[in-house]
Each structure stands twice: as C-alpha cells, then as structure tokens.
A and B are shown apart, each in its own frame.
Chain A
Amino acid sequence: MSFVSYLVNGISLGSVYAIIALGYTMVYGIAKMLNFAHGDVIMIGGYVAFFAVSGMGLPPVLAVLISMVVCTVLGVVIEKIAYKPLRMASPLAVLITAIGVSYLLQNIALLLFGAAPKAFTSMVKVPAVVLAGGALTISGETIVTILTCIVIMIALTLFINKSKAGRAMMAVSEDKGAAQLMGINVNGTIALTFAIGSALAAVAGVLLCSAYPTLTPYTGSMPGIKAFVAAVFGGIGSVPGAFIGGILLGIIENLSKAYISSQMADAIVFGVLIVVLLVRPTGILGKNIREKV
C-alpha cells in the first residue's frame, strides 16, 4: 500500500507542477520567452494568502481570491515594465531580464517578510479520506490539489479552443505579425496570457504551501524550475503537455524520494529533463521546427 500512497502523493505534487507549468508553457508559446520569474510569483501568491488568513483573519476562499488578484496584477506589471520593451531584443537579453526579475521578487520578499520561514496553515478544510481499512490515507490537501488541477485543465482547454480571446492566443503564438494584421491586439493578448499564468501561479502557491507548510522567499524558485522542466517534458507550448509533464514529474520525484534517495531526487528530476531534451528535444507533445536557410 505504501507504493500507492507514494504514487498518490506524487500525482498531487505533480498537479501543482502542472498548474505552474501551464504558466510557463502559455507564456513560452506566446511570448517565446522563459519567464524565469514565474516561480517567484508563486511565492508572492503564498505570502499574500498567508497574510490574508493569519494577518487579517479572512476566510481561505477569499484569501485565495485576493492572492490571485495580486499575482495577476503583478504578472501584468512585470510584463509591461520588464518584458514588453524587449520584444525585439535577443533571447539572451530577455532571459537575463527574467532572471533579474526573479531575483528582484525574491529579494523584495526577503526585505519585506524576512528570511525566517512562515508556518503556513493549510487553506484546505477537506477531511482526509481513509481507504482500504486504514492502510491508505489520502489527505484533504491531496484531493483538493488533484481536483483543482483537473478543473483548471478542463477550463483552460475550453477557454483556449472555444473563446475568442483563446483563439487570439493561438493566433499570436503561431505568428505575431500575421495576428496583428488580422486585427488581433497582440500586446493585449500577451498581457492576458501573463495575467492567466500569474493567477494560476497564485493558486499553485496556495496549494504548494498547504501541502508543504513552510514559506520563505525562496519557496517558489525550485518548484518553479521543476515546473519548467515539466513544461519542457510535456512539450513547451502545449496545455495537455504541461499536464502530462507535471504529473509524470511529480510521480518521478516522489518515487525517487521514496525508493532511491531523498537527496538525489532533484538530481533525478533534472536528469529526466536532460534525457528528454536529448532524445526528444521538443518534449512529448511538442512540435518540430526547422530553421529556414
């Protein structure tokens, strides 16, 4: 039974990665940039929810909503100030800027909230489920995380495929210039993408901190990088890819922790990234692109 429990926990962790990976994959698909700061938006989301609950005594649902609003604004502002002026710049310049933004967020959080970890009280009030006569306990956090991930996936897929704004996103990711000529507001669409990604980051932040209840300014950076690995794994730019990549990565990480070595789990996760990129550089569901001569 312990294997099943590791597996379920892995899926739960993977669900968080999947939600974060969505932010990466959508932004990468549209703006063609690795938003290194995405992981740190998660951390900010965690802090906002933390202070909303422990500081102001708000109910968890409201706290999550506030956190989403703050992160959305943050994401859009970052895009506007730091990334938008660099649309025409070299990819190297954009990546360096994103790394700068990531460090900026971490260090602002460090100055505002201090380095001491905050004990995050879980926002999930769902009771644990006991299965197989007590041999398998699935926590409320796990259930909520997995369900949230599924709901987000479905909603996002519908949004992208059925709504006008979603189709605009697809068009912009395919060809910015052509989309602009078709009357699509490219800058608006990119901003919308950042907004959605950041709102999801807030959700991920709350779920992550509920499952692993310590919050520091660096909470977001490792999960952020791993979620990017998940996005690459699944095929960058693909929403179902982010889902599959995230879940698989969560399972791999949790099973390595359980059966190989907890210290080596991160190394194994990164090893997976390297193998995937070498064997199938565009990920499981990615598209092949050829350079024109």
Chain B
Amino acid sequence: MALLEVKNLGISFGGLRAVNNFNIEIEKGQLYGLIGPNGAGKTTVFNLLTGVYKPDEGSVFLDGKNITGKNNIEINKAGIARTFQNIRLFKDMSVLDNVKAGLHNQYHYSTIEGIFRLPRYFKVEKEMNQKAMELLKVFSLEEEAEFLAANLPYGKQRKLEIARALATNPKLLLLDEPAAGMNPNETKELMDTISFVRKHFHMTILLIEHDMKLVSGICEKLTVLNFGEVLAEGKTSEVLNNKAVITAYLGE
C-alpha cells in the first residue's frame, strides 16, 4: 500500500476551479516531484494535503489512515510536515528554538513543570536540546544555533525550515520550492542535503520545484499539473520527454 494515496481531490475558490480531480500515489521512501507552470495549483495541492484548505471533494489517505478534511494541526500529528514557498521561520527566535518548536509534540512536560522548573523540565529540555542539535548538525547549522533565525543567510533559512519540519518526526515531508532563489552551487548542495535526508531518515518526500536540474537529478517520479489538473505522471525521464508536458512549459 502506498504511503500517500490521494483520490479525486478538488477545490474551488469562488468560481475558479483551482484543483480538479487530482490523484497521486507515493510509495514509502520515494522522492516524488510535483511540477507545473506558475499558477497550475501546486501550492494549493500542498495546502489541501496539509489541511490549510479543506477539499471540496476527494480523499487523502496517509499510511492507510483517512486524513481528509482534518485541520493542519491534526494532519501534522498524523505525519505530514511541510516547508513554505515564502519562508516562514520564527524570525525572532533562535535557530535552536525554531527546531525545538518543531519538537513540540515529540517531547512533553506540562506548563506547571516548566514554570516551577520541576525535574522533568530539566530532563526533557536536555533531550530536546540534544535532538535539536542533531538535526542542526545534519544541515550544518550547529554553529549558528544561537543566532536569530532572521539573521541567517537565505540558503540556511531554507535549510532551517526543512530541519524544523523534520523535527515533527513526519512520515511524509512536503517541500515547497526548496531551491527558489538559490544559485547553482547552493542548489547543488541542497540536492545533496535532500538525498541525505531521504537516506538518513528513510524519509518520503514530495517536492514542488521549478529547477529542472534539481527535479531530473533527484526525483524518481513526477506529476505534472496544468490548470489544476494532472497533465502527466510517471517516471521522471518519461514525463520530461512527454509532448504534452513540453508544450505546457514551452508553448506550441
């Protein structure tokens, strides 16, 4: 059974059909790409999958569990974490605290234990610090742990967002244009990081991307969206040679 099974997903805004009859199946451990021209509805699909929007119809199953119509908090707990196209870090918090905020539901102690500094506070905080630093090390951010997130350079902000998403211990990681605004070197490095994350955490990843080098370099399968509908899907190399896809991207 696939990790993520989406059937016939659709949503309209006013009269506009933003996503229509969207289907996707992602196997465990796959690195899957979602591509398409601007305005095709890619980010809307992400918002539907993560519960920011409620779908008008269709169903979403994660690991056999129906998560259709659940809100974004429940969906995160069910095992989907994401990053955002326009980076959404906690800017006035330290890099470390950003990741620790991601660990929020993985480690528990009560507010009272926190205020009165009961033994569990110290124990759990120590564990959280260790775990957060581990994650930061994966992204070579451990040197900047005490920096304010807003003061990180752009590329590192993108990485921090991925680290923070991973901190929620997801089954499926959604990356919304992780390479946007990066130069070729940074993109190359990011590709290596994504591959590493996939192996190291045995992570299943769905990513939206415009950078074709990145997509063809690391994605195994692709789904192409155009005007809110699936235009093509399949193995990366096949999809990228598909006539309809080339037409959609380059015009007639």
- Is B47 positioned at the interface, with any CB of A under 8 Å from its CB? yes
Tell me the residues in window 152-187 of chain A with beta carbons closer than 8 Å to chain B beta carbons. Answer: none
A-contact bits for B46-86, CB 8 A (1 contact / 0 none):
01000010000000000000000000000000000000100
**Closest B residue by C-beta to A291:** B52
Bound Cα distance from A293 to B84, whole angstroms: 8
- Nearest CB of chain A from residue B71's CB, rounded to whole Å: 13
Interface residue count on the A side (C-beta < 8 Å): 1
Nearest-CB distance from A6 to chain B (Å)?
A: 44
Question: For the complex, what is the distance from the CA of A267 to the CA of B47, rounded to whole Å?
Answer: 42
Specify the chain A residue showing the minimal Cβ separation from B88.
A293
CB 8 Å contact bits of A260-293 with B (1 = contact, 0 = none): 0000000000000000000000000000000001
Chain A contacts for B43, CB-based, 8 A: 293
Would you give the shortest CB distance from B90 to chain A, in whole angstroms?
A: 15
Report how far A293 CA is from B50 CA in the complex, Å. 11
CB contacts (< 8 Å) of A293 on chain B: these are: 43, 47, 52, 84
Chain A residues, Cβ within 8 Å of B52 = 293
Separation of A293 and B53 alpha carbons in the complex (Å):
10
- For B84, the chain A residues whose CB sits under 8 A away are 293
Closest to A290 in B: B13
Whose C-beta in chain A lies nearest to the C-beta of B44?
Answer: A293
Within residues 1 to 58 of chain B, which ones have a CB less than 8 A from any CB in chain A? 43, 47, 52
- In Å, the complex CA distance between A293 and B52 comes to 8
Distance between Cα atoms of A277 and B252 in the complex (Å): 51
Shortest Cβ distance from residue B232 to the other chain A in the assembled complex, whole angstroms? 26
Chain A: minimal CB distance from B47 (Å): 6
Tell me the smallest distance from the CB of B144 to a CB of chain A, in Å: 25
A223 smallest CB distance to B (angstroms): 38
A11 to B84, CA, bound (A): 51
Q: Roughly how many angstroms separate A51 CA and B52 CA in the complex, as a whole number?
A: 58
Minimum C-beta distance from A248 to chain B (A): 30
Q: How far is the CA of A11 from the CA of B101 in the complex (A)?
A: 53
| Shortest beta-carbon distance from A182 to chain B in Å | 23
Q: Which residue of A lies closest to B85 (CB)?
A: A293
> For window 221-249 of chain B, which residues contact chain A by CB distance below 8 Å?
none
Closest to B43 in A: A293
Output the nearest chain A residue to B84 by Cβ-Cβ distance.
Answer: A293
Cα–Cα distance between A81 and B47 once the two chains are bound (Å): 42
Closest to B50 in A: A293
Q: How far is the CA of A293 from the CA of B43 in the complex (A)?
A: 8
Residues of A within 8 A of B47 (CB): 293
Q: For residue B53, give the distance in angstroms from its CB to the closest CB of chain A.
A: 8
Looking at the assembled complex, report how far the CB atom of B74 sits from the nearest CB atom of chain A, in whole angstroms.
Answer: 17
B41 to chain A, nearest CB (A): 13
Q: In the complex, how many angstroms separate the beta carbon of A89 from the nearest chain B beta carbon? A: 15
CA distance A293 to B47 in the complex (A): 8
A273 to B157, CA, bound (A): 41
Task: Name the interface residues of A197-217: CB closer than 8 Å to any CB of B.
Answer: none
Report the minimum CB–CB distance from A63 to chain B (whole Å). Answer: 51
Measured CB to CB, the closest approach of chain A to B239, in angstroms, equals 27
A-side residues, CB < 8 A to B, are: 293
**4 closest Cβ pairs, A-B complex:** A293-B52, A293-B47, A293-B84, A293-B43
4 residue pairs from A and B, CB less than 8 Å apart:
A293-B43, A293-B47, A293-B52, A293-B84
